[in-house]
Amino acid sequence: MNTLIPFDIEAQKQAAAKAVEGIQVQTLMLVAKRIEVIDEDSYAQAIDLRSRFADAEKRIANFWDPLVKAANSLHKLMTGARAEMQAPYVEGKAIVTKKAEDFLAARKRAQRQAQEALERAAEQQRRQLEQEAKRLALRGEMDRAEEISMQAQMSMAPTLPPMAPTVAGARTADKFKATTTDIMAVMAHILGGEFPLMNEVKPGDYRPLVVVDQVVLNALVNRMGDGLKIPGIKVEELTKISSTGR
């Protein structure tokens, strides 16, 4: 049975509101939305407003941070205890799962080899029948040659049934794993029109197969500024304002 830790969030929000008493947020928001920064005076007003918002933001953070820290500590203790108790069961499940998957993989390899052997035998029989049909045709036995030729066309390997056993409590699924080994080759394949850039991940959700790493791009533009000249990448100069304290 789950036991919830009693915590009155509304009471805490009311207590936190006292930390910003005297700061009329509605009034400040109204001014912030209406102010037009067009000269040095209005710029100074905007910075003053920003400082007031930042001050209130900090007061609220100072109230909530100890509670969040305590909650995170409790969460860490609880998840650690859960993981510790689960560990032997997780390990045991992994051990038997690996052995069962190895068994299925061996079965699949054996089935694949058996299927390939049947297909080679069927192909050999087809060729033999085709040769026999040609010999009969050369001897003028056209009816018999046509009969053998039809047999050759029908010479196909039977498909073996799945060799994986059906056991209650387990569901098997064939999955594949793809790993990028040559990103330039992938890009060349896309640029050559041999594979689309945009692909459907789930119904209606199309995403590019190749994307630019934004972390790397940010590092480059921070280091190079407007000296970053790469076709297809737009560099804009921005001005950022940070707090200096009051």
Q: Could you tell me which residue, 140 or 6, shows the higher pLDDT? A: 140
Please name which of 232, 239, 210, 237 lies closest in space to residue 221, comparing C-alpha atoms.
Answer: 237
Span of 29-38, 122-131, 189-198, 236-245 with lowest mean pLDDT:
236-245
CB 155 within 8 A of CB 129: yes
| Phi, psi for 199 (deg, rounded to 5) | -135, 150
Q: Could you tell me which residue, 5 or 204, shows the higher pLDDT? A: 204
Q: What is the pLDDT of residues 220-232, one digit of tens each?
A: 999 999 999 999 9
- Helix, strand, coil content of the chain in percent (nearest 5): 65, 5, 35
Residue 136 confidence (pLDDT) above 70: yes
Residue 31 confidence (pLDDT) above 50: yes
Distances (CA, A) of 192 to 71, 172, 184, 195, 240: 54, 38, 12, 8, 41
**Angstrom distance (rounded) from CA 48 to CA 43:** 9
Q: What is the pLDDT of residues 77-88, one digit of tens each?
A: 999 999 999 999
**pTM of the model as a whole:** 0.60
Q: What percent of the chain has pLDDT over 90?
A: 61
**Angstrom distance (rounded) from CA 54 to CA 45:** 14
**Angstrom distance (rounded) from CA 158 to CA 118:** 7
User: In which band, very low, low, confident or very high, does the pLDDT at 2 lie, cut at 50, 70 and 90?
Assistant: very low
Buried b (16+ CB within 10 A) or exposed e, 93-125: eeeeeeeeeeebeeeeeeeeeeeeeeeeeeeee
**Angstrom distance (rounded) from CA 143 to CA 146:** 5
